[in-house]
Amino acid sequence: MGLVTYDWKIDVLVAISTLFILLYFKIKSMYSYFEKRNIKYVKPKFLLGSEPDGLLFKIHIAESWDRVYKKLENEKYGGFYQGINPTFMIRDPEYINDILKKSFEYFPDRIFLVDEKRNPLDENVAYVKGDKWRYLRSILTPLFSLAKLKWMYEEIDKCADIFDECIKELADGKDVDMSELLARYTTDAIASCAFGIEPQCLKDPDSEFRQVGRDFYDPNKLSMFLLHLRFSIPRIMMWLKIKTISTKIQNYFLTTTKNILQQRRSTGIVRKDFIQLLLELKEKGMVELSSKNVEKSETHKGSPNKKIELTDNLLAAQTFIFYVAGYETTHYLINYTFYLLAKHKEIQDRARKEVLEVKEKYGQFTFDSLKELKFLDNCLSETLRLYTPIPFLIRECSKDYTLPDGAVIEKGMNILIPIYSIHRDPKYFPQPLEYKPDRFENPPANGTYLPFGDGPRVCLGKGFSEAVARRVLARSLEMYEFELSPLNKCMDAIKPNPRVVIATPLHGLLLRIRKRKDSK
């Protein structure tokens, strides 16, 4: 009688096979979420979701979700899958306005999960949730008021003066891509206004602060893929303890902020910048300004009873988000606007006429005089409509929410608001691909124009970004004329880089700059 041998490999194979079968049916069950609830949705491809081309970097993520938007045409909302995760897409402006403002209590948080011990820079006002967000928002909002922005404008103006000197070298009628120069300008403006660091990038393209920006937004790095995953599978990313900010960048911001705070405390130096406001906020519980033209103090009224210690790391996290939220978005806002004004000579001439009238009236470009450039502001608004820096909003439902038609968005469900698609929908913006600044003579309907978001989580840096853009555009239009390079004239549309979440052009925007004959 022969012996029966035991092969443990068979048991392992059976166990693995069983696990995969269970996983397969679990995913198939998740993919039936919308069907079970009789909600129209875009069918997914297994593991890859409803529109995988964005996740695979074949097209930009906004274009990928635009396909979903169009497949759900005539629906106020619908479903799709990011990978295996069911997500509501809200298409109707009234629903969007309700979610962002009227029913904000149901959707107060973004989907980021924060581990401040491993990733201290994540503990910023854009990422955190709940009481911590409410507290940070309540104390930071006054720091971005019109009065504080006016207080910091002197630093913006200094950086713009250096930019004015640099652009002279480009005004020779040759093809030029202004992206790098504008990136250095906005980096200097943020470094100066946020950290109190003297402008260096415009004079030194290889300065440390500029290199940090290149490293953070390098579209060829693994970090961009990880950032995509952070939007689609945040809990798995947290469980795996995967960082989306490199240790090098993290250490740079933490060290730089702490060194500046220590220097200010030890020397008593006072400078008109964001970090000074944070320092006063931490040490006095309020912000005091010496300017005669602004209020003397602001307290953080409405803060929750739960107090949160304002550590140096927490302050560093706020300066970090000031940088990353403002640097790339602002420099591309200006770059796209230069390009569109060069493409549309008649609009450029109208903007210049307004700039020259304001300059003649006031003699210089002050914070207040620049706010009279209404048509230029319309040009910036139209640029933001066409090339919205962040082309979507994602929120997490905090408690069951009933839509007007009776459908329920369950607690924990993610919702996506497709800003890119709404901005290009002819129902809300006729001839949506045309550059028409006059559309903004009247305010757009609620829920149709969201370049900075809306409601309590609207972007705090909106005014700063606009001030930085307005100043450099006004001076440049006064001094120079812009036209498209012949290499760009064949471009009907700007192709976005699929590897970057922010609306970044895949190819350079080439211009030709000439000094105006009657400029001084």
3-59 pLDDT tens trace = 556 567 776 777 787 777 777 667 777 789 999 999 999 999 988 899 999 888 899
Q: Determine how β-strand 414-417 pairs with β-strand 480-484.
A: unpaired
User: CA separation (Å) from 365 to 358, 359, 463, 481?
Assistant: 8, 7, 17, 19
**Would you say the C-alpha torsion 168, 171, 174, 176 has a positive or negative sign?**
positive
The answer to whether residue 453 scores a pLDDT higher than 90 is yes
Does residue 307 or residue 28 have the better pLDDT? 28
DSSP 8-state secondary structure symbol assigned to residue 6: P
| Spatial CA neighbour of 293 closest among 190, 154, 472 | 154
The answer to whether residue 225 scores a pLDDT higher than 60 is yes
pLDDT value at residue 168: 92
Tell me the C-alpha distance between 56 and 45, whole Å. Answer: 13
CA end-to-end distance (rounded Å), the chain: 108
The answer to whether residue 401 scores a pLDDT higher than 70 is yes
Proportion of the chain in helix, strand, coil states, percent, rounded to 5: 50, 10, 40
**Would you say the C-alpha torsion 89, 95, 101, 106 has a positive or negative sign?**
negative
The 10s digit of each residue's pLDDT in 381-400 is: 999 999 998 899 999 999 99
- Report pTM: 0.89
Does residue 385 or residue 82 have the better pLDDT? 385
The answer to whether residue 520 scores a pLDDT higher than 80 is no
Q: What is the token pair recorded at 180?
A: 């790098």
pLDDT value at residue 293: 33
- Mean pLDDT value of segment 108-124: 87
